[in-house]
Chain A
Amino acid sequence: MQTDVEFLLNGKKVTGAAEPRTHLADFIREDALASGTHIGCEQGVCGACTVFVDGRPTRSCITLAAACNGADIRTVEGFDTDPLMEAIRDSFKRHHGLQCGFCTPGMLTTAYDIIRRIPDADRETIRKELSGNLCRCTGYAGIVDAIEDVLKEAPAAALQPTERPRSAISATSAAPKAAEISDSKQAPSPETVIVADMALPAADSFETATVLRKTMHLSAGPEEAWRLISSPEAIVSCIPGATLSGPVTNGIANGACNVSAGPIKAQFRGTASITYLPETKSGQLLGRGKDGLSRSGLEGRLDFQLVPNDNASDINLEMRYRLNGPLSQFGRPALVEEIANGLLADIAQAIDATLSGNDATAGRTQPQRSLSGFRLLFNAFKGLIRRTLSTR
């Protein structure tokens, strides 16, 4: 799948075909062969790839080449006759504003922008404005000095922001026919789930895992509630996003749990065992699954017990989780706090809704909240962070 790309690069027209996924930095470097733009993270953080798009500093690693059709792009190679950039370069030399030189193209772009946009910038402002560009060598001192020095008597900036182009090259603006569109590989739909038959984790292997507890009031009495809960199919149906790939035999179930958080989607396919202790109206769900595309794994244990409460009942839920692989490798504890809290409530609500004859999901006021598997996952991760902090 290719799309046409056409823009001005340092004053010269560049045209080419690229996969839509090609970001601007790659296109400039690999197709237009201008290697002065450096790639430092491809996560939009380090700033090494910053170039001017229509006169504005832009992260070229998170800007698609195809989105720049008709744009005027200027990279570090495109300033040889620019008096302001020459002054900046000279100042970087005098103030030792570079060592290895890898972050330098992005630094120059940002320095140019600071000087023309904030002519009265003081050192504190310079430092703040520079903070989107990482340098690992200089400790920033020489860069701040260099910019401050140029600001004393800055030549006029020849490059200024321009209107964004209103129209694009036609090829990208025309929608392809439906037949031409092939979806990227996504988590498969539940119907296509393959039986996983994964080895189950040991029930006692969660001693140190995160524990979440929740007690929910159910309108049904314990006997009635138990009838629902003691059906494995029914309890699986109360876990949002979970589906079985076949009948539950000997307490062993294979299936999948579709999970998503915003644009992130995953499908954990795996195996679970369900055991019941009718005398105490309690039981345990033990499972392990793997998301094939991200190679992330999730395993967990859910203990539940029904307790009479007047004519109704309470359900005590206790969950333990562990997550592995790329989906676990993020550090946003505040973000996952709430995701975790929502999960048990979702399950309990679904049980309650099923008991009271409502569709488990239709009764929800918040349509996008049904994908709680991802909450499990985030929760596990959050717990790990918290524990890491507390044990050190």
Chain B
Amino acid sequence: MAGDTGTKERSNSGVGARQIRREDDRLLRGKGRFVADIKMSGMQELAFLRSPLAHARIKSITVPDALRDTVYLAADLTGVIGIRADSGLPGFRSSVQPILADTKVRHVGELIAACLSDTRAGAEDIAEEIQTEFDELPAVWDMTAAQSPDAPLIHENWDKNAFLETQTEVDFDGATADAAVVVNKTFRTARQCMAPIEGRGLVAVWDRTLEVLTLHSATQMPHIVRTGLAECLGLDHGQVRVISPDVGGGFGYKGILLAEEVCACYLAIKLDRPIRWIEDRREHLTAGANCREHFYDITGYAAADGTLLAVDCNALVDSGAYSSYPFSACLEAAQVTSILPGPYKMRGYRCSATSVTTNKPPILPFRGVARTGVCFAIELLLDAIARELSIAPEEIRARNLVTPQEMPFTNITNKYFDSGDYPEALRRAIEAIDLPSIRSEQKSQTGRERIGVGLSIFCEQGAHGTSVYHGWGIPMVPGFEQATARLTPDGGLELRVGVHSHGQGLETTLAQIAHERLGITIEKIKVVHGDTAYTPYSTGTWGSRCIVMAGGAVATACDALGQRIRNIAGHLLQSENDDVALEDGVARAGTASVSIEEVAKTWYLKPQLLPDGVDPRGLEATEGYKTVQDTGTFSYACHAVKVSVDLDLGHVKLLDYVIAEDAGTMINPMIVDGQVLGGAVQGIGTALFEEMPFSETGQPMASTLADYHLPVAADIPDIRIIHMETPSPLSYFGQKGIGESGAIGPPAAIANAVNDALSSLGAEVAQVPMTPERILAALDQAEKGDKA
């Protein structure tokens, strides 16, 4: 651990402080600048004609003559190439996502024509006038059916509807022999929409003087979009600038190169006019339902005392029609095989996972990525084994969790758990939810409402780097993360980072880190992000990586800058620079001090005062950072929830919810809480409400927010968080990535609680969301089973 925060008093705005966020004031006054807020002279609004069908050959597209100048079809996009995001893994089947479809459509909402007008309404009017004729093909709407040999092929030149099949097997054969119980289950999670309240959007502008395209886009990864865009449009990187302004939530939805971006940028160049496209909610729900849909056929082998011997699993991930840039379509399914064991020890393991191709929007990694699904599968399996063996859910977990004495621990799939006390998180969660009193409450219940309690525990790899990702052979592999720290002549500090902040509060936490290292008051620190012209290259904001990677980069750059400040200050103070300390905005040596502002002025404006041999690179440092080893930090948490289930209506109420979690060293505990709570409520959405059903013709069946149910304030109890704080030995301050963690645990914990509530009735749910219909069906089935 390079940080030394443990040895000195924590500053009230440095690492560990509940610092009020620096981004809040503008957002609270309506002064944020989101992409839809950008308006330019001569700007044209773009609306798309999208495919109404899931799978069809396009017979004809007819544009009325009068509108021909306002409508652009595939053939009009000269020199533009489609989006391709291959994996280097053997057997990967490669797809090309057309920018505009002209021969075949493979999911509802696929782009067919671009329509331009002065207003969005006008552009939609034009889209309505275009006549289309299709030869409809049978749709592949279900990932299990997609595997059938007579399923129609989505990509005709493939041999089957799968991007990739992956397998992992470790010591499986010998491990099952002593099993006292073998439990087989199938589990399913629904397809979801990530549903940031702001959708995607863009404004593309061509500067004909500089010959530079500027794309303002609501994206999590401006640099990656720049790279992908340059490729698709055949431009040099130097001709493309991407600016990500204030962004209204991402969650993975905005971590992608969009066909819409490629199309709008092409039109902006061709027409030499600014082009704006703002995704509307209907587009989001129908064309952007792109995450979370998993299927597990899983078998657990356990000894009589609950010791887990082996797990065998066949998993399917519905990956949709195309592979999205930069994450390949196989990323999620392939992760399933490596992370399914969770925080548990086992002797043998076997898992195969298929990235199934279907007539649905291409899959994207949603907060928690594959983890939400695997946690659901392994945690429900554990409860099922516990029921089989008549042991308590907490007992089977305690028996199989990796212990603190075993840390760091390399698990059965070669994951390196860096630090932590998993059993303690379990113990604290159980204590806080007061498990004994719930158990006694359960004994006396007789009515039509049943109480249940459920647990889930998981660890989350974050900020993993090159060694983990290069093996996938995807278009983007993270390496060093860079940051620039630059002192301005007035003694202010500018931090430039290539990641993007869209709710995570990086404008605050990165400033806290710089303050921690340089002592400059936080009010004078500005975090610059989201503009490829200003910031060092970065793969962007994803994978719970920013606080570890960008935080580490900022600290490293600040340390380099600090050295140079001390050097000049030492000269001014007539002291050795090793004796100079930076605190409270001054450089101090003994009793003498000089303000950092004066140091900056000296460098920029009074060079005659500089010492001989001063570092000519000046007061601006760009440094790269990697963790001690790039296997990732492992944050972890135990979720415990108390529910009631109305047996007449199948309605689930959350009565109490506890999360015991460990994010390592917390840079800003308020923001850690915010990340955990926000993630948890998304997880509650997964558990109880959110689902994009598809019809058997591949139609998405929830085109409004009245059909697609997001959690609202009244659905949520006051969630209590218990912090543990075990530093990671791998990161700068011991911090761990925590951004996704909250969304992982809830579906498993709530399903286990519902099944606990229903256990006396013999009913069990194995699918989220747990709607009244599904719970009533489970009760009916149990009743029928009883009679039979």
Contacts and interface: CB of A to CB of B under 8 A. Distances in A.
* A contacts B: CB pair < 8 Å: yes
B612 interface: no
A35 B30 contact: yes
A208 interface: yes
A390 to B, nearest CB: 8
Given A99-B674, A330-B703, A126 B713 contact: yes
B197 A134 contact: yes
B706 A36 contact: no
Interface stretch (B90-98, B497-505, B529-537): B497-505
Interface in B92-128: 119, 121, 128
A136 B52 contact: no
B27 interface: yes
Interface in B11-61: 20-21, 23-34, 36-37, 39, 52-53
B196 A102 contact: yes
Given A100-B197, A126-B713, A36 B701 contact: no
B480 interface: no
Contacts of B188: 392
B713 A33 contact: no
A328 B249 contact: no
B677 interface: yes
A100 B247 contact: yes
Contact of B30 (A76, A324, A331, A387): A76
A30 B678 contact: no
B674 A75 contact: no
B293 to A, nearest CB: 11
Interface string A3-37: 00000000000000001011000000110011111
Which range contains the number of A residues in contact with the other chain? 35 or more
B713 A127 contact: yes
Contact of A387 (B280, B678, B696): B696
A42 B37 CA distance: 16
B28 A104 contact: yes
B339 to A, nearest CB: 24
B30 A34 contact: yes
Contacts of B167: none
Contact of A100 (B195, B502, B681, B695): B502
A103 B34 CA distance: 12
Contacts of A323: 695, 697, 699
A101 B701 contact: no
Contact of B767 (A48, A98, A392): A392
Contacts of B773: 389
B712 A131 contact: yes
Interface in A313-357: 322-326, 328-332
B705 A297 contact: no
B394 interface: no
A384 B696 contact: yes
A138 B52 contact: no
A94 interface: yes
A45 B702 CA distance: 13
A144 B704 contact: no
Contacts of B710: 134, 136
Interface in A185-230: 185, 208
A5 B196 CA distance: 32
A42 B27 contact: no
B705 A89 contact: no
Contacts of A208: 696
Which range contains the number of B residues in contact with the other chain? 35 or more
B701 A385 contact: yes
A324 B52 contact: yes
A39 B771 CA distance: 29
Contacts of A326: 52, 282, 286, 703
A157 B498 CA distance: 43
B719 A295 contact: no
Contacts of B23: 101
A141 B718 contact: yes
A388 B671 contact: no
B694 interface: yes
Q: Which of B23, B670, B713, B774 has the most CB of A within 10 A?
A: B713
Contacts of A328: 695, 699, 701
Contact of B705 (A134, A142, A390): A134
A292 B248 CA distance: 35
A40 B24 contact: no
Given A102-B198, A137-B503, A331 B713 contact: no
A93 B682 contact: no
B714 interface: yes
A252 interface: no
A382 B395 CA distance: 45
Nearest to A125: B714
Contacts of A185: 128
B759 to A, nearest CB: 22
Contact of B21 (A42, A93, A108): A93
B20 A94 contact: yes
Contact of B28 (A98, A102, A138, A143): A98
Contacts of B175: none
A251 interface: no
Nearest to A329: B703
A41 interface: yes
Contact of A330 (B37, B136, B707): B707
Contacts of A73: none
A293 interface: yes
A139 B681 contact: yes
B248 A98 contact: no
Nearest to A39: B36
B29 A96 contact: no
Contact of A139 (B27, B32, B677): B677
B20 A93 contact: yes
B53 A324 contact: yes
A38 interface: yes
Contacts of A389: 693, 771, 773-774, 777
Contacts of A322: 697
Interface string A74-99: 01110010000000010011101011
A135 to B, nearest CB: 7
Given A42-B280, A43-B281, A48-B197, A325 B52 contact: yes
Contact of A77 (B30, B197, B247): B30
Given A45-B706, A76-B30, A325-B53, 7 more contacts: A89-B29, A101-B27, A131-B712, A132-B712, A326-B52, A387-B696, A389-B773
25 contacts: A35-B36, A35-B37, A38-B248, A43-B706, A46-B705, A92-B28, A98-B28, A101-B23, A101-B24, A101-B26, A102-B34, A127-B713, A130-B714, A131-B712, A137-B503, A139-B680, A139-B681, A141-B716, A292-B131, A323-B695, A324-B699, A329-B286, A329-B701, A330-B702, A331-B707
Closest 7 CB pairs of A and B: A36-B30, A102-B248, A101-B27, A99-B503, A139-B681, A100-B503, A76-B30
